Amino acid sequence: LNTANGNYSSISGGSNNQAIGAVSYCSGGNKNEALGSFSSTIGGDSNIVSGEFSSAIGGQMNEAIGDYTSVTGGKNNHAGAYNNTDTIGKYSSVSGGENNLATGNSSSVSGGEYNIASGDYSSITGGNMGAASGKDSSVSGGSGNVA
């Protein structure tokens, strides 16, 4: 059973999806939740989008928490984070991979696994167990690299 409770929200296909935020949208998939205003999920399974103007496309158990964030594919990836009652990591993105976090403002992780881009404007382009915690820092793959 799909549920579209938000003002002007809609669902097209899939099962057990929820479009709760105002002007939110779910297209296909299973157990996806579009909770933020103007948020969307497209396909995938058990993805949660709570940030405003955010999206999750495909994948499984991904979360787009901060405003203007996106997660595209992969599994158990997170863009944005909670900081007490506020969200951080606006404009962050994760493009695939598994168990990646992009929590800094305007940060990104482009695949790989177990990577964390926590610095503002930081990026990680794959690899595993990389950490980009400094502002404007970047890690270009490899294993266990820190910037």
Extract long-range pairs of 40-48: CB within 8 Å, 24+ residues apart.
Answer: 41/17, 43/14, 44/73, 47/71
**pTM for the structure as a whole:** 0.94
- Distance of alpha carbon 48 from alpha carbon 112, whole angstroms: 21
pLDDT of residue 85: 65
- Write down the pLDDT at residue 102: 97
Q: Could you give the CA distance from residue 69 to residue 8 in angstroms, rounded to a whole number?
A: 21
- SS (HEC) of 57-114: ECCECCEECCCCCEEECCECCEECEEECCEEECCCCEECCCECCEECCCCCEECCCEC
pLDDT in tens, 12-67: 999 999 999 999 999 999 999 999 999 999 999 999 999 999 999 999 999 999 99
